[in-house]
Amino acid sequence: MPRPTIGIWLVGVKGGVAATTIVGLCALKQGAVDDAGLVSQLPQFRGLGLADWSRFLVGGHEIRDVRLFDEAMRLVTESRVIGRELVEACRAELDLIDQRTRPGTIRSVGPTIEQFASAGVPREESPRQAIARLQKDLSEFQQSHGLEHVIVVNVASTEPPLDRSLLPASWPELERELDGPAGGRLPASTLYAIAALDLGLSYINFTPSLGSSPPAVGELARLRRTRHMGCDGKTGETLLKSVLAPLFFCRHLPVMSWVGHNIFGNMDGKVLNDPVNKQTKIASKDRLLGQILGYRPQTLVSIEYIESLGDWKTAWDHVHFRGFLGTPMTLQFIWQGCDSLLAAPLVLDLVRFTELAWRRGELGALTFLASFFKSPYEVDQQSFIHQFQMLEAWAGRERG
Amino acid sequence: MPRPTIGIWLVGVKGGVAATTIVGLCALKQGAVDDAGLVSQLPQFRGLGLADWSRFLVGGHEIRDVRLFDEAMRLVTESRVIGRELVEACRAELDLIDQRTRPGTIRSVGPTIEQFASAGVPREESPRQAIARLQKDLSEFQQSHGLEHVIVVNVASTEPPLDRSLLPASWPELERELDGPAGGRLPASTLYAIAALDLGLSYINFTPSLGSSPPAVGELARLRRTRHMGCDGKTGETLLKSVLAPLFFCRHLPVMSWVGHNIFGNMDGKVLNDPVNKQTKIASKDRLLGQILGYRPQTLVSIEYIESLGDWKTAWDHVHFRGFLGTPMTLQFIWQGCDSLLAAPLVLDLVRFTELAWRRGELGALTFLASFFKSPYEVDQQSFIHQFQMLEAWAGRERG
Amino acid sequence: MPRPTIGIWLVGVKGGVAATTIVGLCALKQGAVDDAGLVSQLPQFRGLGLADWSRFLVGGHEIRDVRLFDEAMRLVTESRVIGRELVEACRAELDLIDQRTRPGTIRSVGPTIEQFASAGVPREESPRQAIARLQKDLSEFQQSHGLEHVIVVNVASTEPPLDRSLLPASWPELERELDGPAGGRLPASTLYAIAALDLGLSYINFTPSLGSSPPAVGELARLRRTRHMGCDGKTGETLLKSVLAPLFFCRHLPVMSWVGHNIFGNMDGKVLNDPVNKQTKIASKDRLLGQILGYRPQTLVSIEYIESLGDWKTAWDHVHFRGFLGTPMTLQFIWQGCDSLLAAPLVLDLVRFTELAWRRGELGALTFLASFFKSPYEVDQQSFIHQFQMLEAWAGRERG
Amino acid sequence: MPRPTIGIWLVGVKGGVAATTIVGLCALKQGAVDDAGLVSQLPQFRGLGLADWSRFLVGGHEIRDVRLFDEAMRLVTESRVIGRELVEACRAELDLIDQRTRPGTIRSVGPTIEQFASAGVPREESPRQAIARLQKDLSEFQQSHGLEHVIVVNVASTEPPLDRSLLPASWPELERELDGPAGGRLPASTLYAIAALDLGLSYINFTPSLGSSPPAVGELARLRRTRHMGCDGKTGETLLKSVLAPLFFCRHLPVMSWVGHNIFGNMDGKVLNDPVNKQTKIASKDRLLGQILGYRPQTLVSIEYIESLGDWKTAWDHVHFRGFLGTPMTLQFIWQGCDSLLAAPLVLDLVRFTELAWRRGELGALTFLASFFKSPYEVDQQSFIHQFQMLEAWAGRERG
């Protein structure tokens, strides 16, 4: 097997999505699983020269003091979503990644996330100090493993929302104010993004947290001739919305109301149970309907923590629409998916597509990845199939 | 209001879809309803020069001996899907269409449909005689109302299936054998299609019946320099399949099984309760999954007649798919739509688009209409959004 | 038809439940509808001597300035739950009841309800003055129509919750403090209850509001030798809980979580959209699971106002339980019922059973009516079938 | 641990229900699982003197040539319903039961079941010979393990239906005709029942097959002073029907139609995919609605084999009912349960209750066990809660 040359640096490396991504990557390397769920393995992306699984090496930041193997086993015993044998076969790899884990930062993550932080996570550093420390971790990871490039992916818990208009619009201004009031507002996700992009690394924000979404941080990406994309992986209920809403639009069936109730019980759910953190997520889930339909029906989105469900995210959506002659009709759907298992393959896909974009020298927001996100940066198109066509068109261009 | 110049000739003019189409057209002329459900009223089709509602006049064939007003009222009192005031305001128009109704044919429609035929429907005519009689009705309709063109739309009950390979492949052969064994096999829907196309009229098959689908009949359309399209209006469960299956394909989530149970209680349901007639429908509903996914998951489609539901067609679909690492997950949906109210606006859309195609001189199968049908003639693409893009592209070309 | 001798006095006489009750009673008198939904018409209650529909005359209190006919028509045009002909046939009766309506009270009903009050509703009266005024209305109603007895039923909007421990435990104490701090806390529903019971009338609380539930008010009922019962009519999701929870108990299937989301769009829903008023309702809906199961699973109950649904209350419940060997399983149900049409027949049933209890001289809380309520006064049994057996047993005793 | 003194003889000992029962009994003996799902462990049955788990020893008949451990592992790997560690901990016990397994009979089981039979299953024996052989197996089991009593439980696949009126009404007649036409019609399940009862053993029919339901076989039970009960364990959709239908009855809500679609993918499902075998099951599932409601709504019950679901039985039920003023409303439920895990604890409960009935000398049909069955012998009551009250009343009597 060839030596890995590309690093995947996961922010929140011991959470459920990360654990599943790591077990999955390990199982793929071992040939223990097939490629179900992996978009990058579809026939239309063959011949693009996407990197093999063996090319990737994982490390990451984490604020909790847990063992990756234990976290992965919870998906076996509590949520019953992964086979025990898969996790056991990856045990050595999981233990190695424990050693490639560094303490993250909890700047402006809010009290619900803070409570999980271990003693080793610094409490007193300034934004500038935090960025420097995170960059040191990233550089050491890259150098000690001789990696050609590192892709940083944020899969940490969702932070409370921040009003982006409070931040300076340009990178030079933001850079100047890093230790002033503007910098003080920056949540951890943005500090990781700055740390990565400033080093010329690629950055992917898989969560609804602020990450690289401020224009000033996007500018940094272009200044450092690197790339980024986000935000908020589109895995379940919102994915369905982005598939079904175009139907109502194309058939001219006015949606009167769209109600979506989500229940699940993993760590992510525990954090989202804080109304402040939940607000960030709900805004991201709720935005796209208006964009697709061209008007704003009454909407309701709830996300509730129901412990017994573990990783099984269950969504009930009730769509009430007007048919011909004004007659009201109803579509309801019930989605029962494993949150981490829906997210993890997309993380791997994003890393592979981003790695290719790095080799091809693409800069700024990777808009062709819009179909992976609930709130894609710099893209207004919210219809999933149209977004997917953007990916196919990019692949077509890449192949020439 | 300008004089109507385009005829809509409905085969099965007193069935639920026809009654709803007629009440709807009447209400649109009166400005009593808005354009919910009408695809042709979408912004992207403005400026195409589609005909106004006032341009259309309705007549039709029917085998039952009922009054159109009574049929329309059943949608008010039994199914509770149309407001009473809408039907009452159209009463005069409904009574006029009773006068513009001629006896249909029941050749090879099977015993379940035959039992509904009134005494006035001929029992003894040959295929050639039937075609001649139907053509006489069509020509009288066109001439007596001074219509520039007539579009024949089949909205009659679903016939038993026929093996198309038993029919001659070319129109001259089929024409020769009309009163022989091949002609004897032709069901009513195909006789209507031949009658219409041979006169140069346009023909739309909104049902899964054979209609104009035999190659020989398609050839006739081109020979007579006219146009046709079908088949089987895509209104509910199958529409959702054609929207959701592409999601599973694009996300590389292998579908293991897709179960769909449909229940409803209108006349259409009564006919489909006959296993032979049902077979035609189920084949049409079941085909597209394999075409979209590229493999054939286990599928099950049922359609059952539940009297109390009337026109409310309820579908429960259970999709069982494999996620990352092989974990099975589930999507279920429940669709509660009014069958006739979903079909009727599509009939009006099809008529308007076909009328424009007539003015522009388009010939043969109108493939740009694929998104309206479960089994579109001469089109392999089954993804709804991709089909809809064909319609938008056509509109773009037409506008220039 | 015999002269009516029993009064039904509805508090909230122009709300949806009242309008439906009145149209229903009128249609029953006319023989225009059958007895679907009426428990008192079941065979097991024949021969009890329950009063005929013709025996009842309706009046009531209301705080809004609307016409009953208009309110009833909204159930025809907006919610599409009642046939137009039924309401039109009752128009004269509805107009008469407009004349038998008196202004209610808005003491301590909270701002969400207050905003609907018309100018004619007194703002400045003390609790004692309010009671005296309401009693004057009740006495005039009884005397002017020569009624032998009047049954007051609260079907007004749900008030904010009140801590009952803040009220004196006995009637003499409460009576003394009526114009003091304790009296100042009493919400409208309790003032109506005091007014009715103090006159020896019967009182039924169909809502979760405080009503006659304080012990001091229950004491008043016994002191005045009259009767009362409540609270919160059990019509939909909670009714199903009281039927399904015993199943999980009897089969020893531990419920891990029970989530219930309710959406609807009538006036009641608008009031419950206020989190304070909603709290009263949710407490009433959430209590019974623990009482039936003997332990408290994680529960979640939401009620949300979705305007387009009108009177169609839709509930999705997700029950997650542990089976043999600890395997988690799921039951989900979707309930689509018309809120007012489920409540109205129960109001009529309660009036009939209460009238008989009055003739038989039964005093205090009518516990045999437990099956009609979410939170039955003085009854711990929450299993619906067991509660229904209490009703059957009472009927058996009454018949001798 | 005390020596086992009671035998459980499972007919179909290597099927899914049997394998789960055996693993469960083993895990209960080891204290590895709690008592979820076990009715006999409810507080109301404490103090009855039910036998401890350690008292039971398992053997059985089987027609397939498979290892019990492999069958149990399929529930781990294919259906994902049992934890791997539970099955592994029982491996020795499962291997022992392989040795206590004897070839069953396939007389009149129909071709779908026959195809699974191994070479060792006799093909040529007469009914009388079959009974004698089965009795020899039972006696050897009892004697070689020194068992005081043996309870035979039928958990084999469902046989095609048989018209019971074709059988003689009394045991002496049937006994005489065993090798004549009447005997020739007897399916395997009845031969097992005769074999057991004739030896004075107890017999429980957990399937809808004929078993001991013919009056002549019931007479045999009484003649031999033993006991039996059946039929068709009530585990999922029908259990819910028997809980929900009483609600519609008690609230006087006329059910217009009740549709139930069941899908699952275990061996039982494969057999039920044969329309003939399915007929037996559907009749059993469909009967109770009419008995509870007092009238027959339109009903539809389907059971379909969907391989990917394995042991996960999913049912969608759609109940359409008339509310007050005739307004139609809907209740739908979706049940996702593991078929074998719902059945197995009931088998253990039935064995324990039957063992106690044996000690107390109860004879004939054990009607107090009605709540466990879809079609309880000699019981008309179909409401689950009422049936459960029969069990509680029996327990009360037994306790004195």
C-beta atoms of D323 and C39 within 8 A = no
How far C114 CA sits from the closest chain A CA (Å)? 25
Q: Which residues of C touch A306 (CB under 8 A)?
A: 257, 259, 298, 300, 320
- Domain membership of residue C1 (yes or no) is no
CB nearest A326 (choices: B33, B326, B383) = B33
pLDDT interval class at B400 (50, 70, 90)? low
Q: Which of D298, D315, D338 is the last residue of a domain?
A: D338
CA-based diameter of chain D, in Å? 69
Give the domain CATH number at D212: 3.40.50.720
Torsions phi, psi of C335, nearest 5? -110, 125
| Chain D residue with Cα closest to C85 | D325
- Is the distance from CB of B230 to CB of B206 less than 8 angstroms? yes
C-beta atoms of C307 and A80 within 8 A = no
Query: Looking at the structure, do residues A218 and A293 belong to the same domain, yes or no?
Result: no
State the pLDDT at residue B107. 93
Query: Chain C interface, mutation test: which of B84, B87, B308, B335, most C Cβ atoms within 10 Å?
Result: B84
> Is the CB of C3 inside 8 Å of chain B's CB atoms?
no
> Is the CB of D126 inside 8 Å of chain B's CB atoms?
no
State the pLDDT at residue D357. 97
- Domain membership of residue D47 (yes or no) is yes
Query: Looking at the structure, do residues C61 and C132 belong to the same domain, yes or no?
Result: yes
Domain membership of residue C229 as a residue range: 6-233+341-399
CA distance B304 to A205: 48
Query: Looking at the structure, do residues A71 and A95 belong to the same domain, yes or no?
Result: yes
C-beta atoms of A263 and C263 within 8 A = no
State the pLDDT at residue D81. 87
Q: Write the pLDDT tens digit of every residue in D282-298.
A: 776 778 899 999 999 99
Query: Chain B interface, mutation test: which of A259, A322, A324, most B Cβ atoms within 10 Å?
Result: A324
Average pLDDT over residues C116-127: 92
What is the percent of chain B where pLDDT is above 90? Answer: 82
Q: Which residues of A touch D80 (CB under 8 A)?
A: 80
CA distance A212 to A231: 9
C-beta atoms of B337 and A322 within 8 A = no
Strands A255-264 and B6-11: unpaired
Query: Looking at the structure, do residues B148 and B10 belong to the same domain, yes or no?
Result: yes
Number of structural domains, chain D? 2
What is the percent of chain B where pLDDT is above 70? Answer: 99
CB nearest C302 (choices: A257, A302, A334) = A302
CA distances from A86 to A22, A90, D201 (A): 11, 7, 48
Residues 327-346 of chain C with CB under 8 A from chain B are: 334
Q: Write the pLDDT tens digit of every residue in C367-380.
A: 999 999 999 999 99
State the pLDDT at residue A80. 85
CB nearest A384 (choices: B86, B247, B252) = B247
Query: Looking at the structure, do residues A329 and A348 belong to the same domain, yes or no?
Result: no
Q: Nearest 5°: CA angle at A74, between A71 and A79?
A: 140
Give the domain CATH number at C315: 3.30.360.10
Q: Which residues of B touch A253 (CB under 8 A)?
A: 36-37
CB nearest C318 (choices: A256, A263, A318) = A263
Query: Chain B interface, mutation test: which of D237, D255, D259, most B Cβ atoms within 10 Å?
Result: D259
Query: Looking at the structure, do residues D328 and D354 belong to the same domain, yes or no?
Result: no
State the pLDDT at residue A400. 67
Average pLDDT over residues B238-258: 96
C-beta atoms of C318 and A320 within 8 A = no
Number of A:C CB contacts under 8 A?
A: 59
State the pLDDT at residue D274. 76
- Domain membership of residue A136 (yes or no) is yes
- Is the distance from CB of A218 to CB of A365 less than 8 angstroms? yes
Q: Write the pLDDT tens digit of every residue in B261-317.
A: 999 988 777 777 777 777 777 776 778 899 999 999 999 998 899 999 998 999 999
Chain-centroid distance, C-alpha B198: 20
Q: Write the pLDDT tens digit of every residue in D4-28.
A: 899 999 999 999 999 999 999 999 9
Chains near D with 3+ CB pairs less than 8 A apart are A, B, C
C-beta atoms of B80 and C80 within 8 A = yes
Q: Which of B293, B318, B338 is the last residue of a domain?
A: B338
State the pLDDT at residue B163. 85
Q: Write the pLDDT tens digit of every residue in B181-220.
A: 888 999 999 999 999 999 999 999 999 999 999 999 999 9
Helix/strand/coil (H, E, C) string of chain B?
Answer: CCCCCEEEEEECCCCHHHHHHHHHHHHHHHCCCCCCCCHHHCHHHCCCCCCCHHHEEEEEEECCCCCHHHHHHHHHHCCCCCCHHHHHHCHHHHHHHHHCEEECCCCCCCHHHHCCCCCCCCCCCCHHHHHHHHHHHHHHHHHHCCCCEEEEEECCCCCCCCCHHHCCCCHHHHHHCCCCHHHHHCCHHHHHHHHHHHCCCEEEECCCCCCCCCHHHHHHHHHCCCEEEECCECCCHHHHHHHHHHHHHHCCCCEEEEEEEEEECCHHHHHHCCHHHHHHHHHHHHHHHHHHHCCCCEEEEEEEECHHHCCEEEEEEEEEEECHHHCEEEEEEEEEEEHHHHHHHHHHHHHHHHHHHHHCCCCEECHHHHHHECCCCCCCCCCHHHHHHHHHHHHHHHHC
- Is the distance from CB of B217 to CB of B167 less than 8 angstroms? no
Q: Write the pLDDT tens digit of every residue in C55-80.
A: 999 999 999 999 999 999 999 988 88
Confidence check: pLDDT of D400 > 80? no
CA distance C157 to A372: 46
Residues 46-85 of chain A with CB under 8 A from chain C are: 80
pLDDT below 70 — which residues of chain A? 1-2, 284, 400
List the beta bridge partners of residue D11. D61, D154
Q: Which of D311, D338, D365 is the last residue of a domain?
A: D338
Query: Looking at the structure, do residues D218 and D353 belong to the same domain, yes or no?
Result: yes
Torsions phi, psi of D160, nearest 5? -60, 155
Q: How many helices (H) and strands (E) does chain A have?
A: 15, 11
D325: left (phi over 0), alpha (psi -120 to 50) or beta: left
CA distance D377 to D353: 16
State the pLDDT at residue A252. 97
- Is the distance from CB of C339 to CB of C266 less than 8 angstroms? yes
Chains near B with 3+ CB pairs less than 8 A apart are A, C, D
Query: Looking at the structure, do residues C356 and C328 belong to the same domain, yes or no?
Result: no
Query: Looking at the structure, do residues A351 and A313 belong to the same domain, yes or no?
Result: no
Query: Looking at the structure, do residues B300 and B209 belong to the same domain, yes or no?
Result: no
pTM above threshold 0.90: yes
Average pLDDT over residues C84-111: 95
C-beta atoms of D80 and A80 within 8 A = yes
pLDDT interval class at C268 (50, 70, 90)? confident
Query: Looking at the structure, do residues C227 and C374 belong to the same domain, yes or no?
Result: yes
How far C314 CA sits from the closest chain D CA (Å)? 10
- Domain membership of residue A301 (yes or no) is yes
Q: Write the pLDDT tens digit of every residue in D115-153.
A: 999 999 999 899 999 999 999 999 999 999 999 999 999
Using a 10 angstrom Cβ sphere, with 0-12 exposed, 13-18 middle and 19 or more buried, the burial of residue C1 is exposed
How far C240 CA sits from the closest chain A CA (Å)? 19
Chains near C with 3+ CB pairs less than 8 A apart are A, B, D
How far B31 CA sits from the closest chain A CA (Å)? 11
- Domain membership of residue B1 (yes or no) is no
pLDDT interval class at D163 (50, 70, 90)? confident
C-beta atoms of B84 and C80 within 8 A = no
How far A333 CA sits from the closest chain D CA (Å)? 12
Query: Looking at the structure, do residues A76 and A122 belong to the same domain, yes or no?
Result: yes
pLDDT interval class at C257 (50, 70, 90)? very high
Confidence check: pLDDT of B145 > 70? yes
Confidence check: pLDDT of C276 > 80? no
Using a 10 angstrom Cβ sphere, with 0-12 exposed, 13-18 middle and 19 or more buried, the burial of residue B234 is buried
Residue C287, token pair as written in the block: 């209590």
- Domain membership of residue D1 (yes or no) is no
Query: Chain C interface, mutation test: which of D25, D256, D324, D332, most C Cβ atoms within 10 Å?
Result: D324
- Domain membership of residue A1 (yes or no) is no
State the pLDDT at residue D80. 85
Q: Write the pLDDT tens digit of every residue in D312-352.
A: 999 999 999 999 999 999 999 999 999 999 999 999 999 99
Query: Chain A interface, mutation test: which of C255, C320, C330, C335, most A Cβ atoms within 10 Å?
Result: C320
Q: Which residues of C touch B84 (CB under 8 A)?
A: 84
CB nearest A261 (choices: C316, C320, C328) = C316
- Domain membership of residue A361 (yes or no) is yes
D211: left (phi over 0), alpha (psi -120 to 50) or beta: left
Q: Write the pLDDT tens digit of every residue in A385-397.
A: 999 999 999 999 8
